[in-house]
Structure 1
């Protein structure tokens, strides 16, 4: 989506910086929220182009957080269920020791596969996020507002 009014070089650079500032998440916890919010809130009243790009960035980051949270909320209970389904714990038998029975390589295979799939899905989300951030910053530097795919519009 291109903007209707001409954008200045300063606006396109600021919009690209907003997109690229989300990459600070790899160095600073929650940097993908802090820095775009700081830049966007400082410049959103000066330009509709910067405002639209800032909202796009924040909507995408919030969507990625939601997708990661959903992945965790699904995989962790399943993982815990697999552990308790395949393990029998006899407390205080034979002198007060905690004994874990039926925990062998056959029972652990399902848990390892589940953990591998969850980690693979998380890594896939992060790689796609990285690629889309770079692509969006290039689009912003060309004067376009990039709408991230699968992004939920939290900010309108």
Structure 2
């Protein structure tokens, strides 16, 4: 008799919410905002209903933030305007995980503006 255990997924909005909030670790450790959600997504995406979509959105957002920061850093010596995008990126990277954690706790899908599609 085959087991269907691997196909059963549990509902865990709290874990999804924590995955969104884990992005804020970047402000504490400097790098945890990508690594921790990536680990949660990679290990739980097949076990938690909805985590795959949320995890992909988080990873795409974090990788996009990294790309935008690198571009902004290169703009600083060239045009001295790189500081403005860096400030806006910092605000966006802080606010959007909180907004999407609230959405996740309500069972809604995340929405991260300006995300490039690295993982689909």
Give the TM-score band, short-chain normalised. 0.7 to 0.9
Superposition CA RMSD, Å: 1.6
Q: Please, what TM-score do these two structures have when normalized by structure 1?
A: 0.66
In the TM superposition, what is the alpha-carbon distance from 1:48 to its structure 2 partner?
Answer: 4.3
In the TM superposition, what is the alpha-carbon distance from 1:146 to its structure 2 partner?
Answer: 0.8
| Alignment equivalent of 1:149, drawn from 104, 113, 117 | 113
Aligned structure 1 segments of 4 or more residues deviating by more than 6 angstroms = none
Q: Gaps (5+ residues) in structure 2?
A: 1-9
Specify which structure has the bigger relative contact order, considering alpha-carbon pairs within 8 angstroms and separated by 6 or more residues. 1
In the TM superposition, what is the alpha-carbon distance from 1:41 to its structure 2 partner?
Answer: 1.2
Q: Gaps (5+ residues) in structure 1?
A: 1-6, 80-113
Distance 1:125 1:63 in 2: 10
Task: Give the aligned length.
Answer: 111
Q: Please, what TM-score do these two structures have when normalized by structure 2?
A: 0.84
Q: State the partner residue of 1:25.
A: 26
In the TM superposition, what is the alpha-carbon distance from 1:74 to its structure 2 partner?
Answer: 2.6
| Alignment equivalent of 2:89, drawn from 112, 117, 125 | 125
